[in-house]
A = this chain, B = another copy of it.
Amino acid sequence: MVKRNIVVEEGNYTPVFNCEIELAERKGLGHPDTLIDGVMENISRELSREYLATFGKILHHNVDKGQICGGGTNVEFGGGEFTKPIFVLLSGRATEKADGKTIPVQRIAREASLDYMKKTVRHLDVLADVELESHISPGSSDLVDLFLRGPAIQFSNDTSFGTGFAPYSELERLVLETEQHLNSSRYKSSHPEVGEDIKVMGLREKNKIKLTVACAFVSRHIEDINVYVKYKQRVKKDIEKKAAKLTEMDVEVLLNTADDEKKESVYLTLSGTSAEMGDDGSVGRGNRVSGLITPFRNMSLEAAAGKNPVNHVGKIYSVLAQDMAHGIADEVKGVKDVTVTLLSQIGAPVDQPRVASATVILDGVKYAKAKDKIQYVIDQRLEDITDVTHRIVEGKVKIF
């Protein structure tokens, strides 16, 4: 049995939810940064499926860099037009040939991109309004063998670092769930005028929360400024209602504060994403695998989206650390706050990090008692590391 280097410590820091100021942000699914994360991750998923179907193994790929360059639109109440398509650059490397077989990487990438964008931004006509350019190139042939005939548990490809935390603070839950609520298919079905580009910024000062929401509205469902104002008030109320269920703190909701309703200059879009009118997006510049940007917590700079889920520890350890933190918070009694950190050992099997550490703040339990359980959770998750790979491929894990 593998002996892993797992370190559990009691922290002596002030948990973020007890600090005077707390900040958390979520860029919604239709935000350009999140959108391109989703596009590249979907390419990785579809490539992985194709590799599995063809070779029984996921072959080397790394498509963790991509960019959206905003298009141009003329928007008016009731409709409007694209004047310049959204430009999407796909980048990275993916194995195209192995064992005498060819994988149609370019086609998979194009389809995965357009499908994802179509599905994610309901009102975007990807055929007409998206220009796609792929610079994905075949990876080094050296790696083919490693992936095809290497061990079941691959070796870390890098010295890298993943981190996760749990449980979410009230502010964090509020920020996360506000966006998820407004972007749920249930909400959308009764509010088709709400676009997918929803950015939520939460700021807590002591026990007062300010929730700043930027939400794109969809022009074809809004006939004039009065309707816009009405809809906007409705959305604001819906956010407030949702907030009231999640926290007892005082929550002030600020929605589309840049609007100038008198000049009818409001956040109206054709497609529901600001990418239509000049906003750019880049992989790895948005949410972490927690689904949030949390400046007062430790964060890794690693972009998880688009990396292969087999040996790229920058991805696997980010997902795993977040997963472990949730596990510890759920399964170990008395954990008020936990931060998990995984540091890889380049060239060692991915299930054997150089160090896996958990720092906890406990409440009403003894450290000695919690320690073993925490260690067990971590060890278990490392033992089942290939499971993470599968769940990533199946799209069952939050990546952004």
Please determine whether A355 and B21 come into contact, CB atoms closer than 8 angstroms.
Answer: yes
Task: Choose among B93, B105, B111, B299 the residue that contacts A301 (Cβ–Cβ < 8 A).
Answer: B299
Task: Answer whether residue A140 sits at the interface, using C-beta atoms and an 8 A cutoff.
Answer: yes
Inter-chain contact A83/B111, CB cutoff 8 Å: no
Q: Which of A166-174, A278-286, A385-393 contacts B (4 or more CB under 8 A)?
A: A278-286
Residues of chain B within 8 A (CB-CB) of A380 are none
Q: Roughly how many angstroms separate A12 CA and B14 CA in the complex, as a whole number?
A: 9
CB distance A89 to B67 under 8 Å? Answer: yes
For A74, the closest partner residue in chain B by CB is B102
A47: interface (CB < 8 Å): no
Inside 8 A of A131's CB, which chain B residues have their CB?
Answer: 110, 131-134
Chain B residues within an 8 Å CB radius of A139: 278
Contacting residues, chain B, for A155 (C-beta < 8 A) = none
Distance between Cα atoms of A65 and B70 in the complex (Å):
11
On chain B, the residues within 8 Å of A293 by CB distance are 301
List, in ascending order, chain B residues with CB within 8 A of A137's CB: 69-70, 72, 84, 278
Interface of chain A residues 127 through 156 with chain B (CB within 8 A): 127-129, 131-135, 137, 139-140
For A, the interface residue count at a CB cutoff of 8 angstroms equals 66
CB distance from A360 to the nearest CB of B (A): 15
Nearest residue (CB) in B for A25 is B159
Inter-chain contact A343/B102, CB cutoff 8 Å: no
Rounded to whole Å, the gap between the CB of A385 and the closest CB of chain B is 21
Beta-carbon contact of B70 and A67 below 8 Å: no
Residues of B within 8 A of A299 (CB): 299, 301
A105 CB, nearest partner CB in chain B, Å: 7
Tell whether A256 is near chain B: CB-to-CB under 8 Å: no
A44-101 with Cβ < 8 A to chain B: 65-67, 69-70, 72, 74, 81-85, 87, 89, 91-93, 96
13 A–B contacts, CB within 8 A, in A order: A65-B67, A67-B91, A85-B107, A91-B280, A107-B128, A110-B127, A110-B128, A111-B127, A114-B127, A139-B278, A140-B278, A282-B283, A284-B284
4 A-B pairs with the lowest CB-CB distances in the bound complex, closest first = A69-B135, A81-B104, A65-B280, A82-B107
Q: Contact residues of A with B, CB < 8 Å?
A: 12-13, 21, 23, 65-67, 69-70, 72, 74, 81-85, 87, 89, 91-93, 96, 102, 104-107, 110-111, 114, 126-129, 131-135, 137, 139-140, 159, 161, 163, 201, 203, 212, 278, 280-285, 293, 295-296, 298-301, 303, 343, 346, 355
